[in-house]
Structure 1
Amino acid sequence: MSLQNLLGRLETRLREEVRDQAASLSLVRDHTPADRGLTRKCSAAASTAGAGARPNRRSRARSPGAPAGGSALSRRRSRAAADAANMAETSEEVAVLVQRVVKDITNAFRRNPHIDEIGLIPCPEARYNRSPIVLVENKLGVESWCVKFLLPYVHNKLLLYRTRKQWLNKDELIDVTCTLLLLNPDFTTAWNVRKELILSGTLNPIKDLHLGKLALTKFPKSPETWIHRRWVLQQLIQETSLPSFVTKGNLGIIPAERTQQLIREEMEVCGEAAGRYPSNYNAWSHRIWVLQHLAKLDVKILLDELSSTKHWASMHVSDHSGFHYRQFLLKSLVSQTVTDGSVLEQNTLRSEPAIVLPKDEEAVASAEESRINLPHLLEEEVEFSTDLIDSYPGHETLWCHRRHVFYLQHHLNGRFPHSVVQLSPADSPGGTLSDLHLIPAGPHTSQAMEVDGLSDSSKQGYSQETKRLKRTPAPDSLGLEMEHRFIDQVLSTCRNVEQARFANAYRKWLVTLSQ
């Protein structure tokens, strides 16, 4: 039977159901597919005959042998029998149709493993004798008319498998979960089934990352997809990784080249998802997670991210999540560096083991490359904020970002130029501003800090918190004065009510900071 004939029969059956419900009488008790056409003819004839005259009260009287409410009860029973028969036959046809669609989706991925986007094609009904799965270059489209049949079927089939009421082999599980997650990626059970397949070695985790990437093109904020994506990445970076990814000499650890490739791919996925959905908190949070667990907060990667997201931020001035990501980058750079005069040096990266390098020109060159000027970066970020506030007045996100950047700059440019704002090891890089503490810098940062001329602070009862309090910088009068001038300039030229409100709120915050 061709697909067009199958769709035609299915459409005919649906129309017959509507026609049966609208009929006023149904005179057949045993309703089977063989005599369904005769039933409809009899019902139509009875309806036509009864429409000519209205029965009086006497004609409505029940005959001695007729059961109570015979006419209404008979209609209900007949209608129920007809619906049951229609549903039985329709469900079989739907099953055949859905199985073909699932197979078409599987074949599409086999023909083109580089599919990079999925979408729905508006199509209320099937008009052509062809598959509802459309593959054009690297784009996969699904005609919308089949979703109402496809999604409930695969959903119910997977639930039957999980409740051990129906057996599915591994290939069927992969195909069913793939189809289901492309249509509804927030179905946790399907992701859990694929986790089991990955742990058993049946499913390649790289393919699961690709499936999640496709689902995010249609549902860019799907939390379950992001959660599963992090789980897969953890499986790839753990020492007890899958046997198929263990190579000689690495003891199960992913090579550096593969890690770098994963980082680049994840950054691309996060960037595309953030562009498809405004203020996509899930995407930006995943990007932070990648920096923490894959990149290990590498300073070079942090600087690259700060540079690459600058243009994106200038095009999305109301995206709080995007600017929060830039704030995370700045705080992470601060926490990964120590001061050396006005130039900041990179600490030993947490992602690399301690390696003793020879004292030669290469070591000196690598040390020079690792030196960054963090105060200059903060100044550039303040200038960037100034340009955006002047160009796009009335956006609260820009003022909040400026407040955060100035807070970091205010501490770096305090009275103690040889101190730096650094996160303590127990604090998370994404913590609040109250978690920032001043750690003394110098050639011997591991030694005890002198307090009031005493080298041994423990004898005087000084705790680490006491040292931090004594190291708190005084307000940077020059920086505060420049900020107040900036606010005066904004208030004198702006005609936006919201812009004036944000500027006044920022001024009040500066006053509290200087107290």
Structure 2
Amino acid sequence: MSDEIGLILCPEARYNRSPIVLVENKLGVESWCVKFLLPYVHNKLLLYRQRKQWLDREALVDITCTLLLLNSDFTTAWNVRKELLQCGALNPERDLYLGKLALTKFPKSPETWIHRRWVLQQVLRECSPPSLDRKEQADSDLRDSAEKTRLSERLHRVLHDEMKVCADAAGRYPSNYNAWSHRIWVLQNMAQGNLKVLHDELSSMREWVSMHVSDHSGFHYRQFLLKALVRELSQSLHHHHAPWPSPGTSSPCSPSPDPQPAHHQANREATAAAPCPSPATPEDQSSVPAMPQLFHQEMELCTDLIQSFPGHETLWCHRRHVFYLWHHWRRDHNHHDGQGCGSESPQLNHTDAGLSSHPHTASPRGVGLDRVESRNGQAQEGQNAMEVDGVGIPDPCDTKRLKRGPPDPCPPALPSEHGFVASVLDGCLSPEQGCFALAYRKWLDSVIGQ
């Protein structure tokens, strides 16, 4: 099967042969024939819509296929294919394949993405189990397991293909907003609440954004993944003990789940009956990093990209968004801890002692550093008290600490961000990089520091 279509520049026919060329699954059309072929199929379809010429279903499939491969934004052709799908003359997977082929030539075609979402809604409807009464439900118990497995595998296959189509279209056209918006829609409707799918998407996107540091749409998609993971992890935090408490808290309590947006609620109601592809098991959920570690990894990625590719505003905007999301999650988490656990957690603002120090000397650990140093000081006093004649008695806790390995990385904090900005300004050779760093520091003081 062909996986790409394109035009071969050929102003006129030099040889008496077919203008269609197929080389290793690559379909090429000589440009001289377009001026004859496109008006022909266009008039054929219009005569059919005006009921002046009768065409059977197979002819309609062929005409619309040819027309859309030459002009993918012809809405009438997509509407005819919708009718063919509804009457059963066309398979949804076959129609999705045509859209995939058209997007290789027109990767930003809005009509193609709109039609693709309509077809996916039909697939979700077909995969939704029918509503049965109790007697019918009892009779279908034996068939449910195999049917659910088949439907789940189908949805998983469609979801995997959609991710590949979106990634291919995003690579063909920079800042392809239509492709990234479609990718978000697919996850919202076909993988709602699936932690494994969301985390796999976030991991797979790491290499892509590292190679497209100016593609704002790609980073916006990554921000959507972070928001979705934060929402799902916040809702399930009371079921799984967080291995890494947020800074400034003594013992984590489960935060209140974030309210669902209206459009998310509508999408969930529309696809509640559809089986979720590759549901996340407890092992899959445990493989997703804890919230602070998730934000630490994202900030580390921002740091590496900003230092490796100076002068790109998209990277600074992404860092601002990530830190803002982390700041609000920690504030809500600490507020819930103060209400549920009966202890007040200190809020990070511009009056804190950790922020009054110089950025180079401020600790990246933020508010929780004093408590860590206090505990370390108590342990040091206990160790000194056990020394006799200058010989220290081995502490069994030391062995346990050695077995734990290196400490967990620190989550983002306002002092560490000021230190990062200062380091960028010290070694800045690009005027654009300096302007972005100063703007980021001003945003930290005016928005986060208040």
Match of 2:304 in 1: 387
Match of 1:422 in 2: none
| Alpha-carbon separation, structure 2, partners of 1:471 and 1:164 | 72
Match of 2:41 in 1: 154
Q: What's the CA shift for 1:501?
A: 1.1
Q: What's the CA shift for 1:129?
A: 1.2
| Alpha-carbon separation, structure 1, partners of 2:23 and 2:166 | 24
Q: What's the CA shift for 1:409?
A: 2.3
Aligned: 1:487 with 2:404: no
| Alpha-carbon separation, structure 2, partners of 1:163 and 1:368 | 55
SS in 2 for 1:141: strand
Where do residues 250-399 of structure 1 align in structure 2 (5 Å cutoff)?
Answer: 255-338=151-234, 339=237, 340-343=241-244, 366=283, 369=286, 372-399=289-316
Per-residue CA deviations over 1:315-373 (Å, capped at 9, x if unaligned) read 000000000111111110110013444459999xx7889xxxxxxxxx99649736631
Alignment CA distance shift 1:378-1:450 (3 Å): closer
Aligned: 1:201 with 2:118: no
Match of 2:7 in 1: 120
TM (norm. structure 1) is 0.62
SS in 2 for 1:118: strand
| Alpha-carbon separation, structure 1, partners of 2:45 and 2:129 | 26
Match of 2:398 in 1: none
Aligned: 1:514 with 2:410: no
Per-residue CA deviations over 1:197-217 (Å, capped at 9, x if unaligned) read 000000111100000000000
Per-residue CA deviations over 1:218-250 (Å, capped at 9, x if unaligned) read 00000111111111111011158799xxx9538
Match of 1:232 in 2: 119
5+ residue gaps, structure 2: 131-141, 246-253, 258-267, 274-279, 356-365, 367-412
Out of 396, 404, 408, which is 2:325 matched to?
408
Q: Does the CA contact (< 8 Å) of 1:201 and 1:242 recur in 2?
A: no
Larger Rg: 1
Out of 112, 123, 138, which is 2:25 matched to?
138
| Alpha-carbon separation, structure 2, partners of 1:407 and 1:137 | 48
Aligned: 1:249 with 2:144: yes
Report the number of matched residues.
345
CA root-mean-square deviation: 3.3
Aligned letter for 1:389? Answer: I
Aligned letter for 1:379? Answer: H
| Alpha-carbon separation, structure 2, partners of 1:189 and 1:164 | 14
SS in 1 for 2:28: strand
Q: Does the CA contact (< 8 Å) of 1:375 and 1:412 recur in 2?
A: no
| Alpha-carbon separation, structure 2, partners of 1:378 and 1:265 | 29
With a CA cutoff of 8 Å and minimum separation of 6, indicate the structure with the bigger relative contact order: 2
SS in 1 for 2:15: coil
Alignment CA distance shift 1:473-1:186 (3 Å): farther
Q: What's the CA shift for 1:154?
A: 1.1
Aligned letter for 1:128? Answer: Y
Per-residue CA deviations over 1:110-151 (Å, capped at 9, x if unaligned) read xxxx11111111111111111111112211110000001111
5+ residue gaps, structure 1: 1-113, 354-362, 420-437, 443-448, 454-469
Match of 2:435 in 1: 501
Alignment CA distance shift 1:170-1:405 (3 Å): same
Q: What's the CA shift for 1:408?
A: 2.1
Q: Does the CA contact (< 8 Å) of 1:239 and 1:251 recur in 2?
A: no
TM (norm. structure 2) is 0.70
Alignment CA distance shift 1:176-1:134 (3 Å): same
Out of 220, 234, 242, which is 2:107 matched to?
220
Per-residue CA deviations over 1:153-188 (Å, capped at 9, x if unaligned) read 111221111111221111111111000000001111
| Alpha-carbon separation, structure 2, partners of 1:364 and 1:176 | 46
Aligned letter for 1:393? Answer: P
